[in-house]
Structure formats: structure tokens, C-alpha cells
Amino acid sequence: MSQPLIDIGVNLSNNRFKEDLDQVIERAQACHIQQLVLTGTSVEETQKVIAICEALKERYPGRIYATAGIHPHDADQINSEKLALLSNLADSDSVVAIGETGLDFNRNYSSTANQIAAFEAQLELASIKKMPLFMHERDAAEKQIEIITDYRDHFAQGVIHCFTGDKKTLYRYLDLDLYIGITGWVCDPKRGEELRKIVADIPLNRLMIETDAPYLIPKNMPNPPKNRRNEPAFLGYVLKGIQSQRSETLETIAQATTANAKQFFNI
């Protein structure tokens, strides 16, 4: 299939890409992955993904972008200085969204209070800068939806990236007019069983796809790499995992998800 795709969530600043970053991007291009959005998960990681974008912009013009955010796992670092720095980073030409932000009550690497403070600060930042939100949520749907609802009139667009929730949660996010990002989780017959049942319920105009590389390698790959590292070139398997549960063709889903991502990130 030659329909171009956009990977809306790639952790290319991860050390697992340190030795062959150029080759990873070349393989993605060869697989018709037209554009990549690199995920900023802390002030430091945001600086790294912006640096990658800057270093590669002449070689891959209009192809590689970034988000600027503080992940809930890193929310304990929240303070006025970090937020001011994040605000400045968000003004970079490469940055197209605020995030990865949200709540994670599954691992609780940061305190609940700091997660909420960091999330609300980034909701405010997105509202002020009129930028879309790239959001994470694990085992925190009730609180996250409550907070989003309070801010929903103030920010333009948001995506729940790497959605793994249940049907009720999906519908509540859709009711908030949010986009849904789907990863290789949908390709996992065991862990992704519930997601596979409801992925057809996502309206085509609210669906986007991502690898979340180097994590969540698609389980439907016939010959996965021995190192089990996911990369953007494998995004087509996520697309196939989604299509296996829906009535539309691969081309139709690919075209829709690409159009959604272009509009959402304004790229």
C-alpha cells in the first residue's frame, strides 16, 4: 500500500535509537511513513526531540515534528521554572502540540497531586498558546475526564494517545470531542482483547495511529526483529490490526488517519 501514513507518537529520543537514528527514519520513509511526531515527555526529553527535529529539518523538510510536555511519570519535577522553560520550548517551530501530559494512576511514579498540577498547567498552556493536546491516561479515566471537562471550552483539540481503555471510557472521551490514538496494543490478542472489540466504534474522523516506538511492537508482525524494538516503519501493522476489526479498507483508514493528523497538528 502506497498511501502515506503519519505516526503521531514516536519516542525517537529514547536511547534504543541512539546508534541508528538515520536508518530508522530512512526505513520509515521507505514504508510510506510520511511524517513523524516525536514525543516530549519531560523538559529534558522535549529539548532532545526538538534538537532531533532541528538537526534533521534540512534533510527531511516538513517531515519531523515534536510535542512539548511533561508526562505524568515526570510530574514530580513540576515547578514554576520548569513550566516557564516548557512554555518557551513550545514556541519552537518544530513543536506542534502540548504533551505528553495527563494522569497515570497505574504506576504512580509521581504523586497524584503533582500529576494533577502538571496536567492542569499544561491544559492552561495549550489554551494560552492555542495548541492541541497530546494526552496520556492509565487507570485514571474518572479524574482525567473530570479535569478535561473543566477545561474543554478553552483548548481547541486533544488526542488520547495510546488508548487502552474500555467502551465506557472511549465514549466519554468521544463525547468530549477528542481524538483517539491507537498503537500496536490493538494487535495483541490477549492484552488488546477489549480494545479490538471497540476499535470499530471510533468514528473514522476521530482516529489516529501511532507506534509509540520503541515500545508496543505489533504482535501481528510475521518476522519481528530479534531485539523486539518497535520503530515507525512498523506503523502499517497497527493499521492492519485496526482494519481487521473494521469494515473499511486499509486505504480508507490510512487516508482518514493521515488527514486527521495533518489537520490536528497543522502539518
Domain parsing of the chain, residue ranges: 5-265
Q: If you average pLDDT over residues 86-105, what whole number do you get?
A: 98
Q: Give the pLDDT band (50/70/90) at residue 2.
A: confident
SS3 label, residue 11: coil
Reported as a pLDDT band with limits 50, 70 and 90, residue 132 is: very high
- Residue % of the chain over a pLDDT of 90: 97
Helix (H, G, I), strand (E, B) or coil at 98: strand
- Which CATH entry fits the domain spanning 5-265: 3.30.420.40, 1.10.8.60, 3.20.20.140, 3.20.20.10? 3.20.20.140
Cβ contact 191:219 at 8 Å: no
Mean pLDDT rounded to a whole number for the chain: 97
Reported pTM: 0.97
What is the rounded distance in angstroms from the CA atom of residue 224 to the CA atom of residue 166? 28
Q: How confident is the model at residue 218 (pLDDT cuts 50, 70, 90)?
A: very high
CA distance linking residue 37 with residue 65, whole number of Å: 5
Quickly state the pLDDT bin for 1 (edges 50, 70, 90): low
Average pLDDT over residues 155-174: 97
